[in-house]
Amino acid sequence: MASLKGQEELLRIIRKISAGNYSDEILNLTGPECAPEIQELAEAVGLMMVKIEAREDRLEQLLAKIRRDMVNTVTAVVHALGARDSYSEGHGERVGVYARRLAQRVGLSNGEVERIRIAGTLHDIGKIGFSDQIFASGDTPLSQDMIEEIHKHPEWGRDILKNLDFLGPALEYIYAHHEHMDGKGYPRGLKGEAIPFGARIISVVDYFDAMTTDRSYQKGKPTKEAVEILRSLAGSTLDADLVEAFIIEIEANGLAG
């Protein structure tokens, strides 16, 4: 008969495994010093644990693929903006690249870097809801109604993506990427530290790419001039520390291709 101590140890380990706390402790009960019945049960539980871990790994790989496919599908929608607004073509991808580089530059975790990259790539997806009048406006003055429509695109973007739960905080970064440090941005007028850090990153790089990209009514600015403008916006519109970090990144590694 197995000792009471051996039985209690086996039950303790099984409870840990059932709670999802896998470890190699179960192997300690498979040696010859343990009673045969304890060895047999421990080996069976160990084998079961290995099979569960393998299934969980396969499931996680499948979920990761589904997430990638979803992001790729939504990114294709961003590309569709190019059919209505030539400026939008490539803008999201460049902002995503710049956002990733700045997030890495300031030392964020790999997971957070990826969330910020995705948010940067998708930050303007809400513009898919713009009226033809907005896209056709070119360099003509915008009416108040058109300005109000433009100010809605962060919210529209969040609403389009809100059912993709795996995006997590990236949804908030998209929603807040036009907020300003002085509280004069939109759509909620958030101020300073109340603006999510990821959104502040996207805001800096979004401004930079907008300034350095050719538009129908404006030639893209040289890097030096764009950097000077970024510095002029630091502290009021943009996070000053992130502006300086981004300038260092651009000077070190250049523009996005």
Give the pLDDT confidence score for residue 65 in this predicted structure.
Answer: 76
Q: Tokens 């460049």 label which residue?
A: 94
Assessment of whether the complete model's pTM goes beyond 0.85: no
The mean pLDDT value for 102-121 works out to 95
CATH architecture of 84-253: Orthogonal Bundle (1.10)
Give the residue among 127, 87, 83, 119 at the shortest CA–CA distance from 212: 87
Interatomic CA distance for residues 11 and 32, integer angstroms: 19
With residue 131 as reference, give the H or E element that holds it. none
Query: 99's torsion region: left (phi>0), alpha (psi -120 to 50) or beta?
Result: alpha
pLDDT-derived band of residue 1, with 50, 70 and 90 as boundaries?
very low
Contact 188, 82 (CB under 8 A): no
Q: Encode pLDDT of 81-95 as tens digits.
A: 665 665 666 888 899
Q: Examine the pLDDT at 2 and tell me if it is beyond 60.
A: no
Average pLDDT, the chain: 85
